[in-house]
Copies of this chain bind each other. A is one copy, B any other.
Amino acid sequence: MSSALPPRVRIVEVGPRDGLQNSPSRLTTDVKIAFVDALSEAGLTDVEVTSFVRPDRVPQLADASEVMGGITRNPGVRHWALVPNAKGLAGAIESGVTNVAVFTAATDGFNRANVNASVEESLARLKPVIRDAKDAGLRVRGYVSTVFGCPYDGEVEPVAGARVSRTLMDAGADEISLGDTIGVAAPGDVDAVLDAHESMGVSRDAIGLHLHDTRGTALANVYAGLQRGIAVFDSSAGGLGGCPFAPGATGNLATEDLVYFLGRLGIECDVSLAKVAEASGAVGAEIGRPLPSRARAAWEASTR
C-alpha cells in the first residue's frame, strides 16, 4: 500500500525568522546569530535568517543587516532572507544575501490584512522584485500563505493557491512554499492542492510544504506530501512561531518532530535532532516560554 517515498528530504528551517518574528521577547543580535549558526551546524542546509521588512512593523527583526553580517557563512548552507519589496531586496543584497523569499497569500482577505493589497495587486508588486532578484543572480523562493484555509476568507479552493504559484513561477521564482497558515489541513487537502498545482503545470520538484501543527495534523500532511513525491518541507526549531497576522494561528511544525519522523521513515535529511533541540532550547530559555515541539520534549526526557 505504501507509495515510494523520496529517499531524501530538504528541510527549510524558518525558526530564526518565522519563529522569532512572533516572539514577544526581543532577543539580542548575538543570540540570533548564535541560533542561526547552531542550526547550520545541526546539518540544516537551508536556514531562513531574517526579514528585511519595515522595522516599525516587525521590530523583532530590525537588526536584519547585523544578523546577516554576523552569521558564519558556510558553503553547504543556504541562508535565506525574506524581502517584501524592492527596498527590502536592496537591503538584503547590500547585506550579502544570495537567497531571498517573497510572500503573498492565496486569499484577498489575508493579503489585505497583511500587505494591504489584493492577491492580484500583491503579485503585481512582487513581479519586479522577483525579476530584479533574478537579475542580481539570487535564488528566489515564493511563499504562498493561506493555501489550505484563511482566517478571514474561510475555506480556500485548491486552484486559488495553484494560480498564485503559477504566477510566481512565471515571474521567475525558483521554488514555491505552500503554507497551511492556520493549520487546518488534513491529507485530503494536501492531495487536492497538489492536484491543482499539477493541473496548472507547477512542477512537483519546485514545491515545498509549510505546515502548521495547530491541530496536530502537520506530520500527517508531511506524510501525504511524501506520498506525492514532495521532498521539501519547512519547519521551525522547537516549533517556535506562527504568523502574527493570523488570529489564533500558532504552531509551526517543529523541526525536531520532522527530523524524528523522517529518520523513522528511513528518509535522509542529515540533520541532528539533538543539535536542533540544543539550539531551540537555548533560544527557548531566552524567550522564557516552553517550546511546543513534542519530539524535543521526548528528547529532553531521554537526556535526564
Contacts and interface: CB of A to CB of B under 8 A. Distances in A.
Interface of A: 1-3, 183-189, 191, 213-220, 222-224, 227-228, 248, 250-251, 254, 257, 260-261, 264-266, 293-295, 297-298, 301-302
A243 to B, nearest CB: 14
Count the copies: 2
Contact of A298 (B186, B248, B266): B248
Given A1-B227, A228-B1, A217 B260 contact: yes
Contact of A214 (B189, B265, B266, B298): B298
B254 A302 contact: no
B220 A294 contact: no
Nearest to A257: B216
B184 A254 contact: no
Contacts of A214: 294, 297-298
A3 B248 CA distance: 33
B265 A188 contact: yes
A184 B264 contact: yes
A186 B220 CA distance: 10
Nearest to A300: B248
Counting chain B CB atoms within 10 Å of each CB, the highest count among A217, A227, A228, A266 belongs to: A217
Contact of A261 (B191, B217, B248, B295): B217
15 contacts: A2-B187, A186-B264, A187-B223, A188-B264, A188-B265, A188-B266, A213-B216, A214-B297, A215-B298, A216-B254, A216-B257, A217-B219, A219-B220, A220-B261, A223-B223
Contacts of A228: 1
A218 to B, nearest CB: 7
Contacts of A254: 216
Contacts of A248: 298, 301-302
Nearest to A229: B1
B260 A191 contact: no
A267 to B, nearest CB: 9
